[in-house]
Amino acid sequence: MSIQTEKIKELVELRAKARIGGGEKAIEKQHAKGKLTAHERIALLLDEGSFEEMDMFVEHRCTNFGMEKKHYLGDGVVTGCGTIGGRLVYVFAQDFTVSAGSLSEMLASKICKVMDMAMKVGAPVIGLNDSGGARLQEGINALAGYAEIFQRNIMASGVIPQLSAIMGPCAGGAVYSPALTDFTFMVENSSYMFLTGPGPVKAVLGEVVTQEQLGGASVHSTKSGVTHFTAKSDEECIAMIKQLVSYIPQNNMEKTPRVECTDPIDRKEDFLNDIIPDNPNMAYDMYEVIVSIVDNGEFFEVQPNFAKNIIIGFARFNGESVGVVANQPKQLAGVLDCNSSRKGARFVRFCDAFNIPIVTLVDVPGFLPGTGQEYNAVIQHGAKLLYAYGEATIPKVTVTLRKSYGGSHIVMSCKQLRGDLNYAWPSSEIAVMGASGAASVLYAKEAKALKEEGKTEEAKAFIKEKEDEYNKLFATPYQAAKYGYIDDVIEPRNTRFRIIRALAQLANKKLTNPAKKHGNIPL
């Protein structure tokens, strides 16, 4: 056997050794938990045969606590690049079979390298997280490694899409990288995120909680809003990542990928002409409106279980990716509150950063009142949504279906926040407040005087008459249209066609904000 043949054989053996991570027993343990290995996850995520692995032979440099005797090729993370649907992405997958995927100096450097490459070439970064946290044996070097990753997350924000999948534990400082990325995925019953674990929580606060109760997928998808998507398995999680990637561009300088549209652009939906109930206090389902107007009824919702009074997600109109923001009358009557405002604001800012037009469907009676909201800074959270819409330079098409009252009217992409084309259905009501509240405020003195004279019924009739007057004046879109705040009043069944035509009109829109270092969004 020649020297060259021996060296090739050695290379093949080393590659095989690197691919089994912590060994067959560790892999079996991973599978027993219903989890895939790092290599298996990457194989599912990327197009077959497209993965180019980097730094397969990297090892840690730690000599503390007997670590000089424990070396694994790759050091607990698999990194490289490949394609999804033929489009380049960079990926890192923490390998729990090696030292529980704990983050070392060299593991961090591998992640930083693929992030740097992604920034150089303008491609998304996808992180598959499954780690026990910082490698304690490395002390400050592990913390420095985390900080290096976080700094790159910050620099890449708004330049390239960053996606994080939590597919196992993610605790302590490790949670900040996913929090800094654009979208986070979690797997039910096998992943969790928290800054402080159940042990310290019990020791410090006397509070007894499980890992799932403290930071499981259900908690972060319904209560905190930290995660955007939840899946029942690793396989479903990876399928969702691929679906999201199909809607977004490679970077902030490119447009979204266009797909062929087989759905007629002039398709009419007659049922929309009757979807608004005669009773203004009755609800209807905004999802029915969304799926009826987008291409082929396909809507990829973001954060479906958090702040359900607002709906956000991706769809296509005539093959072009669009972000959809819509109030949901079936939840809290569609009011805005702290959680729905920040949910909507972050999504609008993502779309603006990556050249994705926004279609806003409005049916909002106002902001949720009460001390609970005021004490939790609803003013500031509402201002986030206002800021996001006002700052956005992407094409913005707004359709008001029914109610659009007061401050919530302004916040939901009104004309004065540089809404490009603002349409309204004939059923829309655009006013400072509803007729009942307005009449009670405007004619309080008159009604009080009648009641003091013992004319209670006359007072009720008087207020009802003034409500009707207010409705005639403001419970229509024509007052707003008279001033040009609404560009057109449209027939509901034609909504799909009018949105598609509006987006076509705005395809080459150019708008820039004043030169500045950055704005000071009300965080």
For the stretch 404-453, pLDDT in tens is 999 999 999 999 999 999 999 999 999 887 777 777 778 778 777 878 78
Residue 23: band (very low, low, confident or very high) from pLDDT cuts 50, 70, 90 = confident
- Residue 65 pLDDT more than 70? no
Note the residue count of the chain.
Answer: 523
How is domain 3-245 classified at the architecture level of CATH?
A: Alpha-Beta Complex (3.90)
Residues forming beta bridges with residue 77, ordered by sequence position: 94
Portions of the chain given CATH number 3.90.226.10:
3-245, 270-432+476-505
How many CA atoms within 13 Å lie on the side-chain side of 479?
14
Average pLDDT over residues 108-133: 95
What one-letter code names the amino acid at 262? T
Q: Are residues 359 and 314 in contact, defined by beta-carbon separation less than 8 angstroms?
A: no
Q: What count of other Cβ atoms lies within 10 Å of the Cβ of residue 79?
A: 28
Candidates 336, 323, 468; CA nearest to 398 is 323
Q: What count of other Cβ atoms lies within 10 Å of the Cβ of residue 436?
A: 15
* Range in 132-136, 327-331, 370-374 with the lowest mean pLDDT: 132-136
pLDDT tens for each residue of 189-246: 999 999 888 988 999 999 999 999 999 999 999 999 999 999 999 999 999 999 999 9
Pairing verdict, β 52-54 and 77-84: antiparallel
pLDDT tens for each residue of 494-508: 999 999 999 999 999
Q: Domain 270-432+476-505 carries which CATH code?
A: 3.90.226.10
Residue 85: band (very low, low, confident or very high) from pLDDT cuts 50, 70, 90 = very high
pTM for this structure? Answer: 0.93
Output helix, strand, coil percentages for the chain, rounded to the nearest 5. 45, 20, 35
Predicted local distance difference test score (pLDDT) of residue 412: 97
Helix or strand run (H / E) with residue 386: helix 378-391
Helix (H, G, I), strand (E, B) or coil at 488: strand
Average pLDDT over residues 7-16: 82
- Residue 323 pLDDT more than 90? yes
- CA–CA separation, 188 vs 217, rounded Å? 5
- CA–CA separation, 126 vs 45, rounded Å? 10
- CA–CA separation, 284 vs 282, rounded Å? 7
- Residue 285 pLDDT more than 90? yes
Predicted local distance difference test score (pLDDT) of residue 436: 73
pLDDT tens for each residue of 29-62: 889 888 999 999 999 999 999 999 998 877 767 5
- Residue 164 pLDDT more than 70? yes
- CA–CA separation, 410 vs 280, rounded Å? 20
Candidates 48, 38, 47; CA nearest to 79 is 38
Percentage of residues in the chain having pLDDT higher than 90: 71
